[in-house]
């Protein structure tokens, strides 16, 4: 085993060496600008881009012309959300009541912040609260629909807790109401089977660095038929990507992204099964060794490789200190610049103590059973060490409900 062990694959992934291999010629041999139509360097680069477009489209059941290259999911989300809102606005800039948008409070900031900006620009936004299991249902969407709803944006799988929404049903509701449907599928695509036709998706974001491709590359799927979805460009310039996203393409990065998509498509099934077995081993191992260990979010409708676990009475940052051989993330406030605990966990209605006590462990292509065993053992030791120190654990052992205590503050 090599230390530290990487269990933060929901954050980013190691680039697959096969992807790097595919990219290499595009730095020093095929280095043309894919928009150069007048010479062989440009044509060769364009052929690489075309191939990648097919690989990306194939992974999601789309046509190659429906793929718009971006710099990653943040940009794809911005283009989809702002671009659709501005295109389908009910009133011009400067006026109020420009249209209604539906999203959810546990979306990624790259969805929430564009929505907030649109609110300032005269759009109405409904921020739905998921159930305590983290799931946004089609019924919730249906109940929030208004005559002026122009856009719904709901993530496919949540990046902190790994819960999966029923995108096909949500898409069907949007279609019924004539609202454009965008999904941030950053944590989903490449890991789970995706078919934008069957799943009723109009716009979909995903990112290369989450699926073993290089960083700084992403894609937005933009539906071209039944119905055709149009977007207001957010980056203007040379008119690349059919005017939706100007800028010379990152050829080597896109070629790598394409290769990563193809590998995911071929290996998804066996990889998913393997990772699910490892994740269950991890969760069951930890739950078997200690009391008050809760897996956050719906127990079955979740990604195979990601788990978010609260260890009662133990604070997340100090827990991370105790498992320094494992690279993972915490829902605890103290690990980030802000001291607020994770808004996603609080969005599920979790109390501050449990939100503070969580670890997100995300497995990946190179995770091994040996690493999972090591993680179980090391987390167990750290939790035990910290529970000895924890005043909350004492109160719990004395039978006092800590959620009912009002702390004296200063």
- What phi and psi values does residue 321 have, to the nearest 5 degrees? -60, -35
Complete DSSP assignment for 183-216: EE-TTTBTTB---TTTTT-SEEEEEGGGTTS-SS
User: Between residues 209 and 387, which has the closer beta carbon with respect to another protein?
Assistant: 387
Contacts of 81 (CB under 8 A, 6+ apart): 101, 111, 114, 115, 118, 151, 153, 182
Q: Of all helices (H) and strands (E), which one includes residue 248?
A: none
* DSSP three-state, residue 120: helix
Catalytic residue among 104, 115, 261, 334: 334
Residue 261 annotated among the catalytic residues of the structure? no
Read off the tokens for 220. Answer: 């937005």
For ligand PLP, which stretch binds (CB under 6 A), given 29-37, 69-77, 276-284, 325-333?
69-77
| 337 is a site residue for another protein (CB under 8 A) | yes
Q: Which of 308, 318, 362, 367 binds another protein (CB under 8 A)?
A: 318
Q: Both tokens of residue 308? A: 């978010």
Nearer residue to another protein within complex by CB, 47 or 389: 389
Tell me the C-alpha to C-alpha distance, in Å, between residue 113 and each of 108, 110, 315. Answer: 9, 6, 28
Length of the chain in terms of residues written = 410
| 3-state secondary structure (DSSP) of residue 196 | coil
Site for another protein contains 410 (CB under 8 A): yes
Does 334 sit near another protein (CB under 8 A)?
yes
Q: Is the peptide bond before 336 cis (omega within 30 degrees of 0)?
A: no
**Considering beta carbons, is residue 68 or 319 the nearer one to another protein?**
319
How many other CB atoms sit within 10 Å of the CB of residue 312? Answer: 19
**Closest distance of CB 317 from another protein, Å:** 4
Of 2, 270, 403, 409, which lies in the binding site for another protein, with binding defined by CB under 8 A?
409
| Binding of residue 73 to ligand PLP (CB under 6 A) | yes
Regarding 389 and contact with another protein (CB under 8 A), the answer is yes
Q: Is 362 in the site for ligand PLP (CB under 6 A)?
A: no
Q: Among residue numbers 202 through 221, which ones bind ligand PLP (CB under 6 A)? A: 207, 218
Question: What is the spatial distance between Cα 296 and Cα 224, in angstroms, rounded to a whole number?
Answer: 38
Q: What b/e readout covers 149-174, taking b as 16+ CB neighbours within 10 angstroms?
A: bbbbbbbbbbbbbbbbbbbebbbbbb
Taking residues 294 to 313 in sequence order and writing x for each that binds another protein by CB under 8 A, - otherwise, the string is -------------------x
**Do 189 and 206 meet the contact criterion of CB atoms below 8 Å apart?**
yes
Q: How far is the CB of 186 from ligand PLP (least distance, A)?
A: 4
Kindly tell me which of 186 and 200 has the beta carbon lying closer to ligand PLP.
186
Sole window of 21-29, 66-74, 250-258, 261-269 interacting with ligand PLP (rule: CB under 6 A): 66-74
Cβ contact 97:90 at 8 Å: yes
Q: Which does 108 bind (CB under 5 to 8 A by kind): another protein, ligand PLP, none?
A: ligand PLP
Residue in 245, 385, 391, 378 with CA at minimum distance from that of residue 323? 378
Interface of this chain with another protein, residues 348 to 387, rule: CB under 8 A: 352-353, 356
Among residues 147, 300, 398, 401, the one that binds another protein under rule CB under 8 A: 398
Indicate whether 184 belongs to the interface with ligand PLP (CB under 6 A).
yes
Rounded CA-CA distance 83/77 in Å is 9
**Tokens representing residue 89 in the block:** 């606005």
- The closest of 203, 216, 210 to 152, measured between CA atoms, is 203
Site string for ligand PLP, 139-178 (x = CB under 6 A): ----------------x---x-------------------
Please identify which residue in 74, 250, 252, 308 interacts with ligand PLP, judged by CB under 6 A: 74
Which residues here bind ligand PLP, judged by CB under 6 A?
Answer: 72-74, 108, 110, 155, 159, 184, 186-187, 207, 218
Active site (catalytic) residues = 334
Which residues here bind another protein, judged by CB under 8 A?
Answer: 313-315, 317-318, 321-322, 332-335, 337, 339, 341, 352-353, 356, 388-392, 394-395, 398, 400, 407-410
């Amino acid at each position: 085993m090599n230390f530290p062990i990487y269990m933060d694959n929901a954050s980013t992934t190691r680039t697959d060496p096969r992807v790097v291999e595919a990219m290499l010629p595009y730095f020093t041999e095929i280095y043309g600008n894919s928009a150069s139509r007048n010479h062989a360097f440009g044509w060769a680069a364009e052929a690489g881009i075309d191939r990648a477009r097919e690989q990306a489209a194939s992974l999601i059941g789309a046509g190659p012309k429906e793929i718009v290259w971006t710099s990653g999911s943040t940009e794809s989300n911005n283009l989809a959300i702002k671009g659709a809102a501005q295109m389908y606005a009910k009133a011009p800039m400067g006026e109020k009541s420009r249209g209604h948008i539906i999203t959810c409070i546990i979306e990624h900031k790259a969805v929430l912040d564009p929505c907030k900006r649109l609110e300032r620009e005269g759009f109405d936004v409904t921020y739905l609260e998921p159930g305590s299991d983290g799931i946004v249902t089609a019924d919730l969407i249906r109940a929030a629909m208004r005559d002026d709803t122009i856009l719904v944006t709901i993530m496919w799988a949540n990046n902190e807790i790994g819960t999966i929404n029923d995108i096909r049903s949500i898409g069907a509701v949007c279609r019924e109401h004539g609202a454009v449907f965008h999904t941030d599928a950053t944590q989903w695509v490449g890991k789970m089977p995706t078919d934008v036709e069957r799943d009723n998706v109009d716009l979909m974001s995903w990112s290369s660095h989450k699926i073993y491709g290089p960083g700084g590359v992403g894609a937005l799927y933009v539906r071209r038929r039944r119905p055709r979805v149009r977007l207001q460009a957010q980056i203007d310039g040379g008119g690349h990507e059919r005017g939706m996203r100007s800028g010379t393409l990152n050829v080597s990065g896109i070629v790598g992204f394409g290769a990563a998509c193809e590998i995911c498509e071929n290996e998804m099934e066996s990889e998913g099964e393997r990772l699910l077995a490892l994740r269950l081993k991890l969760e069951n191992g930890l739950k078997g060794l200690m009391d008050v260990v809760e897996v956050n979010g719906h127990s079955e409708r979740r990604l195979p490789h990601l788990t978010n676990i609260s260890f009662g009475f133990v604070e997340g940052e100090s827990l991370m200190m105790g498992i320094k051989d494992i690279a993972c993330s915490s829902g605890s406030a103290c690990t980030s610049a802000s001291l607020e605990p994770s808004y996603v966990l609080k969005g599920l209605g979790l109390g501050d103590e449990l939100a503070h006590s969580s670890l997100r462990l995300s497995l990946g292509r190179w995770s091994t059973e040996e690493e999972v065993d090591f993680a179980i053992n090391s987390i167990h030791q750290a939790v035990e060490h910290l529970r000895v120190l924890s005043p909350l654990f004492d109160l719990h052992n004395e039978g006092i409900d800590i959620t009912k205590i009002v702390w004296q503050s200063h």
